Structure 1
Amino acid sequence: MYPAGFKGRAKRLTVIDIARVGRLIGTGEDEIRAVIEVETSGGGFDNKGRPKMLFEPHVFWRELGPGQKRTTAEATGLAYQRWGSAPYPKDSYPRLALAMKIDAAAALRSASWGLGQVLGFNHKAAGYASAGDMVEAFCDSETAHLEAMISFIISEDLDDELRRHDWSAFARGYNGAGYATHGYHTKLAAAFKRWQAIPDALAPACPKIGLGSRNDAVRHAQARLTALGFDTKGTDGIFGANTRAATIAFQKSAGLAPDGIIGPISWAALLKEN
């Protein structure tokens, strides 16, 4: 169950996480960063260390269904039939707390959570058995936010749209039919353009390297391979036969193509936190 006050470890993303997760759907860092920027301005936790969250009364109305609970929620302004019926407060957590007194599970399903603002009722598409399980994971780390966002994107068949930068189609699937009203597609396109002008986290510190390469990146890879138990017979910055053998052994252990070349996918796996 989620921690008291929705305050867990609140562990932040690393730049490697974004690159690693982006590889899961064949995108670069810029596409992933664009979605995060538009959804939550780049951060998954608020200034109190809680997952960023927006409680949606129109979703709560639907989740409750007909009956006394809905009547009670409507009477207190916690539920209404149509989106936009009333302005949202700056902090949704007090409203969530009141909604949970009526129906805790429905309240959690009726809020958008974390970096990707994944709605609780989409927990299965995000890879969780319940909204409560998803929220618990989200209290712990932004990596969970990001992985859930990617799982949702894959589940909704939106990864193709993201890869080809069809921002209107992506926004329609991710944000709903009213995406254009809020300009989600134009915001995504603008954010992507900004991130394209910024070097990726895996470059230039982590360029593609292989047999014959000589640079600090090789030394970095050798040190990391050795730390993980794949002996390169030294960290001299020269990608020789021993480093290639260690790379191939690592790639096999990580389920990657054992080509002996450390490119973006191998770097992401190599630098992943244990």
Structure 2
Amino acid sequence: MYPAGFKGRAQRLTDIDVARVGRLIGVGEDEIRAVIEVETSGGGFDSQGRPKMLFEPHVFWRELGPGQKRTAAEASGMAYQRWGTKPYPKDSYPRLALAMKIDASAALRSASWGLGQILGSNHRAAGYPTPGDMVAAFCDSETAHLEAMMNFIISEGLDDDLRRHDWSGFARGYNGAGYATHGYHTRLAAAFARWQAIPDVFAPACPKIGLGSRGEAVRAAQQRLADLGHDPGPVDGIFGRGTQAAAIAFQKSVGLVPDGIIGPKTWAALTKEK
């Protein structure tokens, strides 16, 4: 169960977490940072150390269904049928507390939580058996927020949109049919462009390498290829024909363009594979 006051350890993300989790779906830091920036302005906790949360009365109306609970929620202003009927308060937690007195589970399902603003009703797609389990994890760490966001993206089939930088397709699936009204797609594109101008955390260790490259990044790639059963020859830090052949074989095995160049997509696949 979530802690009292929704205040847990509230551990923040590190840059390495962003890079690591992004590689689960074969994207870099820039794509992940763009989504986080648009959804929660870059942070998953509010000034009190609680997960950032937006209670949605129109979702509560839907979650309650017909009956006395919905009638009571409507009478108290906690639920209404259409989005935008009333302005949202700056802090949604007092409204959530009132809604939980009517139906705690429905209230948790009717709020968007954390870095990725995952709706509580999507807890299973995010990897949690109940909305309470998801919220409890979100009270502890932003890493849990980000991993849940990745799970949801994969569940909804949006990872390919993100890899292609199809911002309209991604926003449609992630934010709903009204995404264009709120400019989610243009905001995502702009945020991505800003983050592209900043060097990635993993860039020094995982640069684009190919025939003729030398150094520790080559050695790391050779060792990883060898571990995965694609013999590059000596693990010597020299990208020769043997390493190129092993890279091509690996790329073919995971459905990547077999060009023998180890760039962001191949690095992502190499670090993801067991």
> Under TM normalisation by the shorter chain, which class is it?
0.7 to 0.9
Letter in 1 for 2:163: R
Tell me what 1:193 maps to. 193
Pairing 1:67–2:67 present: yes
Matches within 5 A, 1:79-228: 79-204=79-204, 207=207
CA gap of 1:265–1:169, structure 2 versus 1, over 3 A, is closer
Number of residues of Structure 1 aligned to a counterpart in Structure 2? 233
Following the alignment from structure 1 to structure 2, what is the Cα–Cα distance between the partners of residues 266 and 25?
A: 9
Matches within 5 A, 1:21-100: 21-100=21-100
* Alpha-carbon shift at residue 267 of structure 1 (Å): 9.7
Letter in 2 for 1:29: E
* 2:180 aligned counterpart, secondary structure: helix
* Alpha-carbon shift at residue 203 of structure 1 (Å): 2.0
- Percent identical among aligned pairs is 81
CA gap of 1:35–1:240, structure 2 versus 1, over 3 A, is same
Tell me what 2:230 maps to. none
Normalised by the size of structure 1, how large is the TM-score?
0.78
Structure 1 segments of 4 or more deviating over 4 A? 205-210, 212-215, 263-269
* 2:192 aligned counterpart, secondary structure: helix
Tell me what 2:241 maps to. none
Following the alignment from structure 1 to structure 2, what is the Cα–Cα distance between the partners of residues 16 and 267?
A: 17
Structure 2 stretches lacking a partner, 5+ long: 221-234, 238-253, 255-261
Normalised by the size of structure 2, how large is the TM-score?
0.78
Following the alignment from structure 1 to structure 2, what is the Cα–Cα distance between the partners of residues 43 and 267?
A: 29
* Alpha-carbon shift at residue 207 of structure 1 (Å): 4.4
Following the alignment from structure 1 to structure 2, what is the Cα–Cα distance between the partners of residues 206 and 161?
A: 23
Contact preservation (8 Å) 1:2, 1:132: yes
1:183-203 Cα shifts (integer Å, max 9, x gaps): 000000000111111111112
Tell me what 1:8 maps to. 8
Contact preservation (8 Å) 1:16, 1:268: no
Following the alignment from structure 1 to structure 2, what is the Cα–Cα distance between the partners of residues 209 and 8?
A: 43
CA gap of 1:7–1:24, structure 2 versus 1, over 3 A, is same
CA gap of 1:71–1:43, structure 2 versus 1, over 3 A, is same
Following the alignment from structure 2 to structure 1, what is the Cα–Cα distance between the partners of residues 44 and 50?
A: 8
Contact preservation (8 Å) 1:99, 1:107: yes
Following the alignment from structure 1 to structure 2, what is the Cα–Cα distance between the partners of residues 268 and 18?
A: 14
Contact preservation (8 Å) 1:202, 1:264: no
* 2:181 aligned counterpart, secondary structure: helix
